[in-house]
Structure 1
Amino acid sequence: MEIVVIISQILLYLSLSILVGSFILFLVPNKYRPEIRVAKKYLLISAITVPIFSFVPVLDIILYIAPRLGGIESFKLVLTTYTVGNAWNFTLVGSVVLILFIYMIWPPHKKLYSCLGLILTFGLILSLAWSSHSGTIDPIIGVISDFTHLAAVSIWVGIVLVMGWGARNYKNWVEFLNWFSIVAFSCLVMTAISGLLMMDLIVDHYVESWMVSYGQGILFKHLSLLPLVFYALINGLLMKFLISKNYNFNPIPWIRLEGLILLGIFAITAFYSIQPPPHGNYLSNEAVSPLFRLFHDAPIEARTTIGFAGGPNTIYFLFLSFLFIGLMILSFFKKAPMVLSLLFSCLFIVCIYVTLMLSVEVH
Structure 2
Amino acid sequence: MILVTTVIDTLLYICFAIVVGALLLHAIPNGYKPEIKMPKRLISFLALLIGILSFGPLLQLFVFFYGKRDFLTLVHTLILTTDSGRVWLITFLISIVLSLFLYFVPLDRVNSIIGLGVTFFLIILVSLSGHIASHSKTIGLLSQTLHFFLMAVWFGVLIVISFFSIKKENWKTFRSWFTPLSIIAIVIIAVSGLVMMKYTVPEYQSSWLLPYGEALLLKHLLYFVIILFGCINGFLLKKDMKLGWLRAEAIIIVIVLIITGFMTNSSPPYIVAETIEHGGISPLFEKFYQGAWVPEMSVALQGTSNSIPLFVLAVVLLIVQLITFITGRNPYLFLVLSLVLVLVIFLALLLSITPSL
Which category of TM-score, normalised to the shorter sequence, fits these structures?
over 0.9
The counterpart of 2:116, out of the listed 118, 124, 127, is: 118
- Report the alpha carbon displacement of residue 287 of structure 1 after superposing the two structures with TM: 3.5
Contact 1:285–1:300 at 8 Å: present in 2 too? no
* Cα distance in 2 between the residues matched to 1:211 and 1:68: 35
Contact 1:17–1:157 at 8 Å: present in 2 too? yes
What corresponds to 1:204 in structure 2?
Answer: 202
The counterpart of 1:344, out of the listed 321, 337, 350, is: 337
What corresponds to 2:350 in structure 1?
Answer: 357
* Cα distance in 2 between the residues matched to 1:201 and 1:29: 40
Unaligned runs of 5+ in 2: none
- TM-score scaled by length of structure 2: 0.94
- Match status 1:214 vs 2:207: no
Q: What CA deviation, in whole Å up to 9, does each residue of 1:78-130 have, x standing for no partner? A: 22343322221121121011111111114x2x311110111111111111101
Q: 1:335–1:105: structure 2 CA closer, same or farther, 3 Å change rule?
A: farther
Contact 1:83–1:130 at 8 Å: present in 2 too? no
- Report the alpha carbon displacement of residue 178 of structure 1 after superposing the two structures with TM: 1.9
* Cα distance in 1 between the residues matched to 2:22 and 2:288: 44
1:112-151 matches, cutoff 5 A: 112-151=110-149
- Report the alpha carbon displacement of residue 64 of structure 1 after superposing the two structures with TM: 1.4
Q: 1:82–1:142: structure 2 CA closer, same or farther, 3 Å change rule?
A: farther
Q: 1:311–1:162: structure 2 CA closer, same or farther, 3 Å change rule?
A: same
What corresponds to 1:95 in structure 2?
Answer: 95
Contact 2:208–2:350 at 8 Å: present in 1 too? no
- Match status 1:254 vs 2:245: yes
Q: How many residues align?
A: 354
Q: 1:41–1:331: structure 2 CA closer, same or farther, 3 Å change rule?
A: farther
The counterpart of 2:255, out of the listed 259, 264, 286, is: 264
Q: 1:78–1:287: structure 2 CA closer, same or farther, 3 Å change rule?
A: farther
What corresponds to 1:317 in structure 2?
Answer: 310
- Report the alpha carbon displacement of residue 69 of structure 1 after superposing the two structures with TM: 4.1
What corresponds to 1:288 in structure 2?
Answer: 281
Of stretches 144-153 and 72-81 in structure 1, the one that deviates more from structure 2 is: 72-81
- Report the alpha carbon displacement of residue 336 of structure 1 after superposing the two structures with TM: 4.7
What is the DSSP-based 3-state SS (H/G/I as helix, E as strand, rest coil) of the residue aligned with 2:276?
A: coil
Q: 1:194–1:250: structure 2 CA closer, same or farther, 3 Å change rule?
A: closer
* Cα distance in 1 between the residues matched to 2:61 and 2:294: 29
What corresponds to 2:7 in structure 1?
Answer: 7
What corresponds to 1:246 in structure 2?
Answer: none
Higher RCO (CA < 8 A, seq sep 6+): 2
- Match status 1:161 vs 2:154: no
Contact 2:57–2:129 at 8 Å: present in 1 too? no
What corresponds to 1:44 in structure 2?
Answer: 44
Contact 1:298–1:362 at 8 Å: present in 2 too? no
- Report the alpha carbon displacement of residue 333 of structure 1 after superposing the two structures with TM: 3.1
Contact 1:317–1:352 at 8 Å: present in 2 too? yes
What corresponds to 1:17 in structure 2?
Answer: 17
What corresponds to 1:299 in structure 2?
Answer: 292
The counterpart of 1:239, out of the listed 237, 240, 263, is: 237
- TM-score scaled by length of structure 1: 0.93
- The runs of at least 4 consecutive aligned structure 1 residues that moved more than 6 Å come to none
Contact 1:177–1:236 at 8 Å: present in 2 too? yes
Of stretches 15-24 and 81-90 in structure 1, the one that deviates more from structure 2 is: 81-90
What corresponds to 1:187 in structure 2?
Answer: 185
- Report the alpha carbon displacement of residue 68 of structure 1 after superposing the two structures with TM: 4.3
Q: What code does the residue aligned with 1:195 have?
A: G
Contact 2:19–2:43 at 8 Å: present in 1 too? yes
* Cα distance in 1 between the residues matched to 2:340 and 2:157: 26
Q: What code does the residue aligned with 1:47 have?
A: A
What corresponds to 2:57 in structure 1?
Answer: 57
The counterpart of 2:326, out of the listed 313, 317, 333, is: 333
- Report the alpha carbon displacement of residue 250 of structure 1 after superposing the two structures with TM: 4.8
The counterpart of 1:227, out of the listed 219, 225, 250, is: 225
